[in-house]
């Protein structure tokens, strides 16, 4: 017997299949979008009263200002952390690396803020050696159980500072990416490019250290290390 409506019957069979196919394609399309929406794991928040080690050179020790206006002292006031100023004027990355084990053992910090390398650049030491030292500093600090935040340092020279054309040395972003640690960028390069925030060509004044600490707080919050 001949079907009087073959076209209608064919359409009725095709439509459910087409709807199933489209639904399947839509589900597949959503998979990469969901993956792109995932956020990288955040750091653990460092609680109020915790010990934080600020490792560095004269920019950490506070040359150009008083001890209570150096950036670690300002950071302590802004966060409620006990911030140990482990900055030594003139220190290179190799010297900071040598000092690190005793500092970790003595203070057992929850967080180590690493800002070193400026004297390496001023003395024209090998960038690859400086990079290797900074990697070791960050790695040893993490091995002690501390979290680490790396501070980018400009490729310092007296000429660059005097012309206000400072920019972060590329090795800091490389190290932060390699080790998957947060990076505070453009902090010192911004401060030292502004004559109003400097005590001399390569050091901040009290206002400069205050500005640096305020910017660092924002990076700490963005990284999840400091509660908002």
**Active-site residue set:** 58, 200, 203
Measured CA to CA, the distance from residue 182 to residue 221 in angstroms comes to 11
Please check whether residue 151 is in contact with residue 115, taking contact to mean a CB–CB distance below 8 angstroms. yes
Instruction: Kindly tell me the burial class for residue 40, based on how many C-beta atoms sit within 10 Å of its own C-beta (0-12, 13-18, 19 or more).
Output: exposed
Report the alpha-carbon distance of residue 9 to residue 131 in Å, rounded.
73
Helices 93-107 + 127-143 axis angle, to 10: 10
The C-alpha atoms of residue 120 and residue 187 are separated, in whole angstroms, by 18
């Amino acid at each position: 017997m001949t079907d009087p409506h073959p076209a209608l019957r064919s359409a009725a069979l095709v439509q459910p299949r087409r709807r199933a196919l489209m639904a399947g394609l839509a589900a597949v399309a959503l998979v990469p979008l969901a993956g792109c929406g995932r956020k990288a794991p955040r750091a653990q928040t460092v609680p109020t009263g915790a010990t934080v080690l600020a490792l560095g050179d004269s920019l950490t020790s506070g040359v150009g200002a008083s001890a209570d206006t150096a950036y670690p002292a300002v950071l302590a006031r802004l966060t409620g952390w006990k911030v140990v100023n482990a900055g030594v004027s003139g220190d290179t990355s190799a010297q900071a690396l040598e000092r690190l084990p005793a500092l970790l053992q003595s203070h057992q910090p929850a967080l180590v803020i690493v800002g070193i390398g400026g004297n390496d650049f001023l003395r024209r030491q090998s960038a690859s050696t400086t990079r290797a030292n900074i990697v070791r500093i960050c790695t040893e600090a993490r091995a002690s159980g501390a979290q680490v935040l790396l501070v980018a340092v400009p490729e310092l020279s007296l000429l660059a500072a005097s012309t206000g054309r400072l920019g972060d040395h590329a090795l800091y972003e490389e190290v932060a990416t390699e080790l998957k640690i947060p990076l505070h960028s453009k902090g010192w390069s911004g401060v030292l490019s502004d004559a109003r925030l400097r005590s001399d060509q390569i050091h901040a004044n009290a206002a400069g250290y205050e500005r640096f600490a305020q910017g660092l707080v924002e990076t700490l919050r963005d990284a999840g290390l400091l509660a908002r």
